Structure 1
Amino acid sequence: MAAGLLADRLLGEARRFHPLVGFGRWARALEAATRRHVGTHRGAGMLAWALAVLPWLALALALRATHPLAHWPLDIALLYLALGGRSLAEHAEAVAAPLAAGDVDSARAHVSWIVSRDTGALDAAGVARAGTESVLENGNDAVFGALFWFLLGGGGGVLLFRLANTLDAMWGYRTPRYLHFGWAAARIDDVLNALPARLTALTYAVLGNTRCALKCWRTQAAAWDSPNAGPVMAAGAGALGVALGGGALYHGQWEQRPPLGAGRTPDAGAIRAAITLVRRGSVLWLAITSALAVVITLAGWAHA
């Protein structure tokens, strides 16, 4: 876990030949073939999900079994490829820096790379709100969810989580095209993210304004459309002491979203504070994991 986090911090996201780019092409080809030969119903989407994910999971497990020490390099590599902490920070800073300098147009252009809402008409506060929300939500998907499934299932666990999360990002939309076909991808990602999301929310609360974060989590999360993003973003906004949520334009349709957090209007500082929250959270997870490993090892020695 330490090696994977260090590799992500030092190397960042692979610039060329990233496996997830290849997986995306594989998934698009499977989607086209499944739609053509099976259909667009829920069963077809479930079949496409299985064909997209399970062969790679089986390959990873087979490679782990080739040698008693094979899991070390393989698990580290899979965790590194699944993590996106540095990439998230770089994208967020590309929004925060011009925003802090008063260049709203540049900040607006960069925030469009990391959010799904329409950004063309966002003012400075809207850009900061979108950037902060993205960092908090993706802190779970790109960091803590990956760490959780790595701890639970090693390389196979983190591979399953990252591929399922990628398919949810591709297919998990309530649009006419994916309403039925993407149902399985969305539901599987919800299940895999249920516990990590709440641990992420707890992490944000512990490292920020704890009382406000817990109150916002308790009173605001249930109103959010996503059962997992709600706790993460409500607790994160409360931990930072900023007001998020509210109306936003998605695919030409205005959506009035519930409020998140409490306090000041977000700015460039809020985006940077969210980055710091995620970074400190990953250090906390590593410290707790290391302490537990030492305790378990010492307990084993004492028993022996």
Structure 2
Amino acid sequence: MQAAFDQIYSNGALLVLWGALLFHLILPIPISGHPATLWRAFARILADKVNTNKSYSQSLISGTLAWVLMAVPALIVLVALKPLVWQPQLFDLALLLLAIDWRNSEKLGHGLADAIAKEDKKLARSLLEPILNRVTKSLSPVGIGKAGAETLILGYGRNVVSVLFWFGLTGGIGALLFRLISELARAWSPSRSQFLPFGLPATRMLALFEFIPLRIFSIMVILGKNATQVFGQVLMQSKTWPMPGPAWLLSSVGSKLELSLGGPAIYGDSKTVRPKIGGRVVPTALHIGQIQKLLAWRLFVWIALQSTLMFLLYQGI
């Protein structure tokens, strides 16, 4: 017993993982004070300066260069800082705390469920407004339910699952860098006309880095009741969604709980016709709770599996 404890204690990465989760669940960083908010604000300022080309190809080149200008210096600074700190584990802990965002998604879910249950559309829209790129002022109860469900699913998938995945592979630097890449794709989302095609490089890079963790997590969601049927629906429906990682995750949760996701959405001054995926039931307050319960249990399994793998790899097994 003592030997096993000593092995766990000597594995700094495991202690960082569990410590970051514990600190985050107890004292999460609020959205308004999170450095990611400043990162997105700077990204928008940069876009205002360089996203001025009318030509499609020139705008695409500008978007690529802007992404490189944001992401590469961030990576260089993080790598350069690590040797300067007196305790590398504390450095990784700090970066993982900045990267992960579980509690804010959980808080959003509870707030949305209460607002939808009370039929308070104004409150529900105000909760979604700072997170969504789409227009929220005109969201109907059906639109609020769908938008809330999609936001929760992708929030858990990107800000928890993918962050933990990249922490396991590359440490705190990889975890935070993924979060910054995700925020760039959000700030320059090409779903809004002013960022098309400028934001395409940012979304493609995000799609590349989130593909494996979201695909693995989607399979974990599929497993269990009606797994064969859900898997068939995911294979069929995911082909119609533009991004492969979110396609599987949204479709797997929607099909598992028979919830209707996707459909038309308004971004800026234009209406986007998105494919419908999942089931036929419009998400309500009850379903928001079901989504959180489903994803929370899968996340516990993910953390247990990742911890086991990290322990075994550290022991050279």
Question: Shorter-chain TM-score: which interval?
Answer: 0.7 to 0.9
Structure-1 residue corresponding to 2:293 = 276
For residues 234-249 of structure 1, the aligned pairs below 5 Å read 234-249=251-266
Structure-2 residue corresponding to 1:200 = 217
For residues 54-93 of structure 1, the aligned pairs below 5 Å read 54-66=72-84, 70-93=87-110
Q: Counterparts of 1:12 and 1:152 in 2: how far apart (Å)?
A: 24
Q: For the Cα contact (< 8 Å) 1:26–1:52, is it kept in 2? A: no
Residue 22 of structure 2 aligns with an amino acid whose one-letter code is: L
For residues 244-255 of structure 1, the aligned pairs below 5 Å read 244-255=261-272
For residues 156-175 of structure 1, the aligned pairs below 5 Å read 156-175=173-192
Structure-1 residue corresponding to 2:200 = 183
Q: The residue matched to 1:264 in structure 2 has which SS?
A: coil
Q: Does 1:48 align with 2:66?
A: yes
Q: Counterparts of 1:76 and 1:209 in 2: how far apart (Å)?
A: 39
CA displacement, residues 6-62 of structure 1 (integer Å, 9 cap, x when unaligned):
22211122466532233234333433454589x953332222212212222112112
Among 30, 33, 39, the residue aligned to 1:23: 39
| Distance 1:90-1:208 versus aligned 2 partners, 3 A rule | farther
Q: Counterparts of 1:172 and 1:208 in 2: how far apart (Å)?
A: 35
Q: How far 1:287 moved relative to its partner?
A: 0.4
Residue 108 of structure 2 aligns with an amino acid whose one-letter code is: H
Q: Counterparts of 1:65 and 1:14 in 2: how far apart (Å)?
A: 29
Q: How far 1:167 moved relative to its partner?
A: 0.8
The normalised TM-score by structure 2 is 0.83
Q: Counterparts of 2:244 and 2:237 in 1: how far apart (Å)?
A: 11
Is 256-265 or 80-89 further displaced after alignment? 256-265
CA displacement, residues 131-157 of structure 1 (integer Å, 9 cap, x when unaligned):
111111222121111111111111121
Q: For the Cα contact (< 8 Å) 2:50–2:62, is it kept in 1? A: yes
Is 147-156 or 116-125 further displaced after alignment? 116-125
Q: How far 1:84 moved relative to its partner?
A: 1.3
Q: For the Cα contact (< 8 Å) 1:2–1:286, is it kept in 2? A: no
| Distance 1:209-1:127 versus aligned 2 partners, 3 A rule | farther
Among 100, 118, 139, the residue aligned to 2:135: 118
Q: The residue matched to 1:93 in structure 2 has which SS?
A: helix
Q: Counterparts of 1:258 and 1:101 in 2: how far apart (Å)?
A: 29
Percent identical residues:
27
Q: How far 1:81 moved relative to its partner?
A: 1.0
Q: The residue matched to 2:197 in structure 1 has which SS?
A: coil
Q: For the Cα contact (< 8 Å) 1:201–1:235, is it kept in 2? A: yes
Q: The residue matched to 1:249 in structure 2 has which SS?
A: strand
Q: For the Cα contact (< 8 Å) 1:207–1:281, is it kept in 2? A: no
Q: The residue matched to 1:41 in structure 2 has which SS?
A: helix
| Distance 1:129-1:212 versus aligned 2 partners, 3 A rule | farther
Q: How far 1:209 moved relative to its partner?
A: 5.2
| Distance 1:126-1:14 versus aligned 2 partners, 3 A rule | closer
| Distance 1:41-1:113 versus aligned 2 partners, 3 A rule | closer
Q: For the Cα contact (< 8 Å) 1:57–1:159, is it kept in 2? A: no
For residues 224-303 of structure 1, the aligned pairs below 5 Å read 224-297=241-314
Structure-2 residue corresponding to 1:12 = 28
Is 178-187 or 282-291 further displaced after alignment? 178-187
Q: For the Cα contact (< 8 Å) 2:258–2:281, is it kept in 1? A: yes
Q: Counterparts of 2:193 and 2:144 in 1: how far apart (Å)?
A: 29
The normalised TM-score by structure 1 is 0.86
Q: Counterparts of 2:101 and 2:231 in 1: how far apart (Å)?
A: 26
Q: For the Cα contact (< 8 Å) 1:207–1:277, is it kept in 2? A: no
Structure 1 residues without counterparts, runs of 5 or longer: none
| Distance 1:180-1:275 versus aligned 2 partners, 3 A rule | same
Q: Over the residues paired in the alignment, what is the CA RMSD in angstroms?
A: 2.6
Structure-2 residue corresponding to 1:127 = 144
| Distance 1:264-1:211 versus aligned 2 partners, 3 A rule | farther
Aligned residues: 298
CA displacement, residues 59-81 of structure 1 (integer Å, 9 cap, x when unaligned):
211222236x6321111111111
Q: Counterparts of 2:26 and 2:310 in 1: how far apart (Å)?
A: 24
| Distance 1:16-1:194 versus aligned 2 partners, 3 A rule | closer
Q: Runs of 4+ in structure 1 displaced over 6 angstroms? A: none
